[in-house]
A and B are shown apart, each in its own frame.
Chain A
Amino acid sequence: MSNAHPDLDLLTEYTAGSLPLTQSACISLHISQCTRCQRIAGQLADLGACLFEAQEPSTVGDAQLDAVLARLDEEPPLSYAKASKDIGNTPAVLQRLMRGDFSDLSWKNIGSALRISYLQTGDPQHELAIYHFKAGGRIPEHTHRGSEMTLILQGGFSDADGSYHKGDFLVRRQGDVHAPTALQSEDCICLVVLDAPLKFTDWKFRWMNPFLKLRTTA
């Protein structure tokens, strides 16, 4: 079980359905492998259901009921038959956004230790990407112009605040500066959601900043 979790504010917004799509996907992937957050999200969903049932009901006429009854024999849309199992290293949610495995993605190299593959989600305000760090690779020190959510899908990394492993979920806020290093034992793969581009503070990499536009479409 992981040690780094979304905070209560995020879990509340997640269960209320008010988070942006990409952030919601990232948190959902954490919850699917974290019994602690499953338990909290379960209680929050029950809270939502209690509030739902406590509403003043609106009027729905019999015509609506008849219309629904008449449609019950329609074939369900194909999209319900989603792959609900993880295939290889690819979690089920991500399978909708990519073909094949992580090795089949198209990657963009950022320095020698990091490559990034951007996923197309349709979310206009957020970038969802897979980051692949080489084992032991250090990411140049950078700061955040907005918020960054990270879920570790494989391996782990450490920074000045601690070390993190598969299933861990982290949020960096605007102005946080860090320089993560992948663990020595294996390559690290993360799912990352950004709402503003990164900004390298390490002088050797600052030249890249103008190129780090937010990629909301691949």
Chain B
Amino acid sequence: MMIVTDNFDDETESQVASKEKRTDEWSECLTLVGQNGDRAAFTRLFRHFAPLMKAFALSGSTLSANNADELVQEVMIKVWQKAGAYNAEKAAASTWIYTIARNSRTDLFRRLQKFDTPLSADDIAGSQESEEAFMMLHQKRGRDRIRTLISGLPSDQAQILAKVYMEGKSHSEVAGELDIPLGTVKSRVRLALQKLQIRFEE
């Protein structure tokens, strides 16, 4: 887990608390950008998220470094333009920004394949937050739990999740690349989700 502090050793109570606080820091920054057009807050967001976006753009290594830099710029400008619609009570800044990065990368893949469509990925899969308070609380707890449990995943499951989420590969593409059966990919994903206590039913 990448911890957003300058120095980190073992995770003590206070560091877990400070990580929590710093997670909120991004939501505060994003709120300042949305409400006041705060450029200093935007610069802080840029310094934290742009290097992650570039890593995300390059993972799976199908995009050139130029394309990756263009994607970073495009996403950060979207973050600036759309920040007014951000609501810190409904989504963590990291999830909101990740969603924009993911959709922009999908659109870029489609553009590079000369795939001409009136739909952008944001039209289809923009953030779909729930309005209900109990679900927001539920989501907050779920997010904290995922953060804590993710470092304990077995490496084969962590590897599959990275390919699915960071490289943006379909289950069958992952199966082809690792030369394992599709069923194995699906069951590793399911096992990982179970370990992360992602809940499917009431």
Q: How many A-B residue pairs have CB under 8 A?
A: 213
Partner of A9, one of B50, B110, B171: B171
Decide: A96 and B98 in contact? CB cutoff 8 A: no
Interface string of A15-39 (1 = CB under 8 A from B): 1111101001100100110011011
Query: A203–B32 Cα gap in the complex (Å)?
Result: 66
Tally of contact residues, A, Cβ under 8 A: 62
List A1-53 residues whose CB lies under 8 Å from chain B.
8-9, 12-19, 21, 24-25, 28, 31-32, 35-36, 38-53
Q: How far is the CB of A130 from chain B (nearest CB, A)?
A: 15
Tally of contact residues, B, Cβ under 8 A: 80
Decide: B165 and A28 in contact? CB cutoff 8 A: no
Decide: A74 and B77 in contact? CB cutoff 8 A: yes
Decide: B139 and A42 in contact? CB cutoff 8 A: yes
Q: Is A58 an interface residue (CB 8 A)?
A: yes
List A61-94 residues whose CB lies under 8 Å from chain B.
64-65, 67-69, 71-72, 74, 76, 79-80, 82, 92-93
In the bound complex, residues from chain B placing their C-beta under 8 Å from that of A124 are 115
The majority secondary structure among interface residues of chain B is: helix
In the bound complex, residues from chain B placing their C-beta under 8 Å from that of A71 are 73, 77
Query: A137–B93 Cα gap in the complex (Å)?
Result: 49
Partner of A21, one of B4, B56, B110, B162: B110
Given A8-B200, A97-B119, are A24 and B124 neighbors across the interface (CB < 8 Å)? yes
Interface string of B114-139 (1 = CB under 8 A from A): 01111111111101111010010011
Q: How far is the CB of B66 from chain A (nearest CB, A)?
A: 12
Decide: A13 and B165 in contact? CB cutoff 8 A: no
Given A17-B106, A68-B76, are A56 and B55 neighbors across the interface (CB < 8 Å)? yes
Decide: A25 and B124 in contact? CB cutoff 8 A: yes
List B88-125 residues whose CB lies under 8 Å from chain A.
92, 94-95, 97-99, 101-103, 105-106, 110, 115-125
Q: Is B69 an interface residue (CB 8 A)?
A: yes
- With both beta carbons as reference points, the residue of chain A lying nearest to B109 in the complex is identified as A17
In the bound complex, residues from chain B placing their C-beta under 8 Å from that of A21 are 110, 115, 117, 119, 124
Q: How far is the CB of A13 from chain B (nearest CB, A)?
A: 6
- With both beta carbons as reference points, the residue of chain B lying nearest to A12 in the complex is identified as B189
Given A45-B99, A122-B118, are A13 and B43 neighbors across the interface (CB < 8 Å)? no
- With both beta carbons as reference points, the residue of chain A lying nearest to B101 in the complex is identified as A52
Decide: B123 and A122 in contact? CB cutoff 8 A: no
Partner of B164, one of A16, A35, A67, A123: A16
Decide: A69 and B39 in contact? CB cutoff 8 A: yes
Decide: A46 and B92 in contact? CB cutoff 8 A: yes
Decide: B125 and A17 in contact? CB cutoff 8 A: yes
Query: A39–B137 Cα gap in the complex (Å)?
Result: 11
Decide: B119 and A25 in contact? CB cutoff 8 A: yes
Decide: B128 and A68 in contact? CB cutoff 8 A: no
Q: Is B81 an interface residue (CB 8 A)?
A: yes
- With both beta carbons as reference points, the residue of chain B lying nearest to A20 in the complex is identified as B170
Query: A55–B54 Cα gap in the complex (Å)?
Result: 10
Q: Is A117 an interface residue (CB 8 A)?
A: no
Partner of A43, one of B56, B139, B171: B139
Task: Give residues in B with beta carbon < 8 Å to A.
Answer: 1-2, 4, 39, 42-43, 46-47, 50-52, 54-56, 58-59, 68-69, 72-73, 76-77, 80-82, 92, 94-95, 97-99, 101-103, 105-106, 110, 115-125, 127-130, 132, 135, 138-139, 142-143, 146-147, 150, 161-162, 164-166, 168-171, 173, 186, 189-190, 193, 196, 198-201
Task: Give residues in A with beta carbon < 8 Å to B.
Answer: 8-9, 12-19, 21, 24-25, 28, 31-32, 35-36, 38-60, 64-65, 67-69, 71-72, 74, 76, 79-80, 82, 92-93, 96-97, 120-124
Q: Which 8 A-B pairs have the closest CB atoms?
A: A122-B117, A57-B51, A58-B54, A49-B95, A49-B98, A76-B81, A18-B170, A46-B143
